[in-house]
Chain A
Amino acid sequence: MNTFTPMLFNSLQFLIFFGFVTCAYFALPHRARWLLLLLSSCYFYMAFVPEYILILFFTILIDFSAGHLIARSSGKKRKMWLIISIISNVGILAFFKYFNFLNTSLTGLLGLLHAGNPIPALQIILPIGLSFHTFQAMSYTIEVYRGNQQPEKHFGIYALYVMFYPQLVAGPIERPQNLLPQFREKHTYDSMRIRSGLMKMAWGFFKKVVIADRLAAVVDECYGNVAHHNGLTMWVAVFFYAFQIYCDFSGYSDIALGAARIMGFHLMTNFNAPYLSRSLNEFWKRWHISLSSWFKDYLYIPLGGSRGNWLKHVRNLLIIFCISGLWHGANWTFVIWGLFHAVYLLAEMLSGKLFPRLKLPSPIRVSITFLAVSLLWIFFRAHTVVQAFEVFAKLSEISLAQSVSLAMQTKELIFCVLLIAGLMLKERFLKNIALENRWVFYSVFGGLVLCCYLFGIYDQKQFIYFQF
């Protein structure tokens, strides 16, 4: 099977592709636009493993049919069609993402019993964005089942709902009620909207190529050779990773939102200054909002949510975070990451019940939450559970006598810290820029583009969430 590099947002190829699609979108009459978007989304998706488009269309066909069958049926049949749709979606996800993980775990288990595993590992490449578009497709059939969404009559429009290129490979995971009607709306040229979209895109590029990819150099160096670095350097890497993953993923989301907005589509907000959260509970309302709300609406609440006794609530949280961990990656590190989040959330709830009057000042609560989230990211970044514990061991070796020892020069390290400080200040105090004023727009947009050119890193680094 021939693989190609996916079309990265931070590449010239994407910029030209985006320019073509957007211009052609406004040049074409409204009735032909869905076809343009669908064909360009296919081209975008096929840049990685072209053959996988067949699998994607297979699931699209199943869910499209299931939607109609659910709407037409009643009683048990209705449920049966929903289950068939979910099984086919989850089945494909499980095969591509979890087969080798489960098989390796089985090999380890059998090894403990001194037995061999007869099932060979498969040489499979994970389809890009599989977890994202599978969840988006599932939300369609579930919403049709719940009666919140009429089944889509137009196969092409439904396919576009699953494949819309700005959010195809890393979200936001959209809901049919929000996205599907927008494909029928006639979007005209609106300079204010285009400015707003361009600004969103420029800010996303800045976060990705200027901040995330620069921090990645430190993070990769430290995680690539944990034993080689002292405790203080490892702490720097841990905090840098927290900002790297945030800028990487929210940068992607900003580009996606901006690209869609320019054409007139409003995708849901995926991040809302998560590192300013005062608790982990609040963090999950601000981080990857489209996924958190997906889990809440389609899993947590159907399981009973926080209703019922405390034990049920604990069970539900553990299930949700365990699955959330697995959704991110087929590795025990992600499962542990999810579990620890659940445990921390439970501890937060417990402390709230035990000490209802204890209210720490906001800055302290924000700092504690950020520290906890950063430490938990270690499991997310580490290649293995053993390596994660190696990192924790390193962190415990910190002493005043140590200095940061990296290939990166001190000046660049300070630049990284300034970037992070600037990012946090912007998130805290400058949510929106007055785009009505043309000069403000041109100055800020031009400044961001110039910074991306001068300080951006262009080594075609993939977005972290592309692997999920």
Chain B
Amino acid sequence: MKRIVFSVFAFIFLALLIISNNKEWMLRISDYRFASHSECLDPHKHGDLYSMCYMQKYKEPIAEPAFRKYNSARRNTDLYIMHDSYLQNRLSSTNFKGIDSLQQIDYRGGPSTIRLDSGKTSVLIIETAQRYARWRLQNPFYYINQLHIAGKEKSGTETAPPTASDADTSSWLNDLKGIVYNPNINSNLEYNLFDYSLFSPLRGWKSSLTNFLFGKPDNRLVISTDKQYLMLKETVDTAQNTGIYNHLAESELDSLTAHMQQIRLHFIQAGFKEVWFSVIPNTVTVVDSTYLPQHPGNGLMYKLKNKTGNLHIPYIDVYSLFIKQADKMYKHGDSHWSPAGKQIWIDEVNARIF
């Protein structure tokens, strides 16, 4: 009898492991759950920070934002945006004045290759969140290696291009590994076992208790001084360069801007007419810059704006615009900007580039 009970449990555990390892099955489960209970496999559905703590106060409604559209005459221009999660949701070419096409390249997913239309003007915008700007720009090849231009020499790249045989071998091996060892297995298991509306209050209570005891709902989160925003702890961490209180030496700033210049020249040589940079401020920078009153901020945002201005590096600054309407620029339970904040960025791109 015991043996049968153990066999049943072993089967259940094994099935859980296999299902949670399999990408296709997870997508099917997610689709099914979304269709029947609107429970999709998307941690951003009500705010990525909300999904770390489930505190009702910070739950964002699901809404599809609509951005301003333009029907202005086309100016034979293609716009390319290298972006991170801030621009993860697709924009349309009509959101920008007079461009023929828009191509968004999420550089977090690995290198991409594009082909530029030599008959058109190509403009590139490289966007990054403030919290990762220092890390991403400390090596110019971070961006250079993420975007290859078909038909152009890969000059200045740090790594050799992969050979055809490399690609063949690594792809089947990686596919095999991906089947047996899914890097998202822990989040998939959590989704399959606990991510049900039934458990959300329990998680919310836990966060409220932790917040009551320790002043933070989760180890990865902090709450703004006015209690209105969840913020990532790494953005106020004094020890990490993701934090706004982490010391920024003048030499580091010089190095960051020098790398920006190097990246810009690389992509101009590769065929772009213009290369712009844009650093999106952390929530804390705009809404709660004195979160740690005893620590002076490192001033990365305005220092970057001034330094790039002095060096004539094209730079789209939204920091100075955001602080004028600080309370509308960010979501309350998400690490990203609100539709209003995003619209300001789009407007600024239109105003500066087109």
**Could you write out 24 A-B pairs with CB less than 8 Å apart?**
A2-B170, A12-B189, A13-B17, A13-B185, A20-B14, A23-B7, A23-B10, A24-B7, A26-B2, A27-B6, A27-B10, A214-B219, A221-B237, A224-B239, A228-B247, A407-B236, A407-B237, A409-B215, A411-B215, A412-B214, A412-B215, A412-B216, A454-B209, A460-B186
Chain B: CB-nearest residue to A24: B10
CB pair A26 B185 closer than 8 Å:
no
CB pair B181 A221 closer than 8 Å:
no
Partner of A453, one of B14, B186, B206, B292: B206
Contact with A along B2-19 (1 / 0, CB 8 A): 110011011001101100
Partner of B181, one of A47, A189, A227, A411: A47
Contact with B along A211-254 (1 / 0, CB 8 A): 00110010011111101100000000000000000000000000
Q: How far is the CB of B17 from chain A (nearest CB, A)?
A: 6
CB pair A11 B186 closer than 8 Å:
yes
Q: Which A1-38 residues have C-beta < 8 A from chain B? A: 2, 4-5, 11-13, 16-17, 19-20, 23-24, 26-27
Partner of A459, one of B2, B180, B189, B219: B219
Q: Which size class do A's interface residues fall under?
A: 35 or more
Report how far A208 CA is from B231 CA in the complex, Å.
Answer: 26
CB pair B239 A221 closer than 8 Å:
yes
Partner of B220, one of A11, A24, A409, A459: A459
Tell me whether B190 is interfacial, beta carbon within 8 Å: yes
Contact with A along B177-189 (1 / 0, CB 8 A): 1001101011001
CB pair A23 B6 closer than 8 Å:
yes
CB pair A12 B13 closer than 8 Å:
no
Report how far A4 CA is from B177 CA in the complex, Å.
Answer: 9
Chain A: CB-nearest residue to B6: A27
Partner of A411, one of B10, B14, B170, B213: B213
CB pair B209 A16 closer than 8 Å:
no
Tell me whether B63 is interfacial, beta carbon within 8 Å: no
**Top-10 shortest CB links A-B:** A224-B239, A20-B13, A23-B10, A27-B6, A412-B214, A24-B10, A409-B215, A23-B9, A27-B7, A19-B13
Report how far A223 CA is from B240 CA in the complex, Å.
Answer: 11
CB pair B238 A221 closer than 8 Å:
yes
CB pair A457 B214 closer than 8 Å:
no
Q: How far is the CB of B233 from chain A (nearest CB, A)?
A: 8
Tell me whether A305 is interfacial, beta carbon within 8 Å: no
Which residue numbers of A lie inside 8 Å of B, CB to CB? Answer: 2, 4-5, 11-13, 16-17, 19-20, 23-24, 26-27, 43, 46-47, 50, 189, 213-214, 217, 220-225, 227-228, 405, 407-409, 411-412, 415, 453-455, 457-460
Q: Cβ of A458: which chain B residues have Cβ within 8 Å of it?
A: 219
Partner of B16, one of A16, A224, A415: A16
Report how far A222 CA is from B239 CA in the complex, Å.
Answer: 7
Report how far A273 CA is from B79 CA in the complex, Å.
Answer: 64
Q: Which B37-75 residues have C-beta < 8 A from chain A? A: none
Q: Which B212-270 residues have C-beta < 8 A from chain A? A: 213-216, 219-220, 233, 236-240, 246-247
Tell me whether B210 is interfacial, beta carbon within 8 Å: yes
Q: Cβ of A26: which chain B residues have Cβ within 8 Å of it?
A: 2-3, 6
Report how far A228 CA is from B246 CA in the complex, Å.
Answer: 9
Q: How far is the CB of A414 from chain B (nearest CB, A)?
A: 10
Task: Supply 13 further A-B pairs (C-beta < 8 A) apart from A23-B6, A26-B6, A50-B181.
Answer: A2-B177, A5-B183, A11-B186, A24-B14, A26-B3, A217-B219, A221-B239, A222-B239, A224-B238, A408-B214, A411-B215, A415-B213, A457-B219
Chain A: CB-nearest residue to B220: A459
CB pair B238 A407 closer than 8 Å:
yes
Chain A: CB-nearest residue to B213: A411
Q: Cβ of A47: which chain B residues have Cβ within 8 Å of it?
A: 181
Q: Cβ of A459: which chain B residues have Cβ within 8 Å of it?
A: 219-220
Q: How far is the CB of B98 from chain A (nearest CB, A)?
A: 44
Q: Cβ of B186: which chain A residues have Cβ within 8 Å of it?
A: 11-13, 460
CB pair A2 B219 closer than 8 Å:
no
CB pair B189 A16 closer than 8 Å:
yes
Q: How far is the CB of A1 from chain B (nearest CB, A)?
A: 9
Report how far A221 CA is from B294 CA in the complex, Å.
Answer: 15
Tell me whether B85 is interfacial, beta carbon within 8 Å: no
Q: Which B287-324 residues have C-beta < 8 A from chain A? A: 292, 294
Partner of B214, one of A23, A221, A411: A411
Q: Cβ of B7: which chain A residues have Cβ within 8 Å of it?
A: 23-24, 27
Q: Cβ of B14: which chain A residues have Cβ within 8 Å of it?
A: 20, 24
Partner of A412, one of B180, B213, B246: B213
Name which of B6, B210, B239, B240 has the most chain A CB atoms within 10 A of its CB: B239
Q: Cβ of B164: which chain A residues have Cβ within 8 Å of it?
A: none
Q: Cβ of A224: which chain B residues have Cβ within 8 Å of it?
A: 237-240
Tell me whether B35 is interfacial, beta carbon within 8 Å: no
Tell me whether B173 is interfacial, beta carbon within 8 Å: yes
Chain B: CB-nearest residue to A8: B186
Q: How far is the CB of B122 from chain A (nearest CB, A)?
A: 34
CB pair A2 B294 closer than 8 Å:
no
Chain A: CB-nearest residue to B295: A228
Q: Cβ of A412: which chain B residues have Cβ within 8 Å of it?
A: 213-216
Q: Cβ of A457: which chain B residues have Cβ within 8 Å of it?
A: 219
Name which of A11, A214, A225, A455 has the most chain B CB atoms within 10 A of its CB: A225
Task: Check A4/B214 contact, CB under 8 A, given A220-B239, A407-B236.
Answer: no
Chain B: CB-nearest residue to A26: B6
Tell me whether B193 is interfacial, beta carbon within 8 Å: yes
Task: Check A12/B190 contact, CB under 8 A, given A409-B215, A453-B206.
Answer: yes
CB pair B206 A16 closer than 8 Å:
no
Report how far A46 CA is from B14 CA in the complex, Å.
Answer: 17
Tell me whether B174 is interfacial, beta carbon within 8 Å: yes
CB pair B181 A46 closer than 8 Å:
yes
Q: Cβ of B190: which chain A residues have Cβ within 8 Å of it?
A: 12
Contact with A along B132-173 (1 / 0, CB 8 A): 000000000000000000000000000000000000001001
Q: How far is the CB of B110 from chain A (nearest CB, A)?
A: 12
Report how far A436 CA is from B13 CA in the complex, Å.
Answer: 29
Q: Cβ of B214: which chain A residues have Cβ within 8 Å of it?
A: 408-409, 411-412, 415
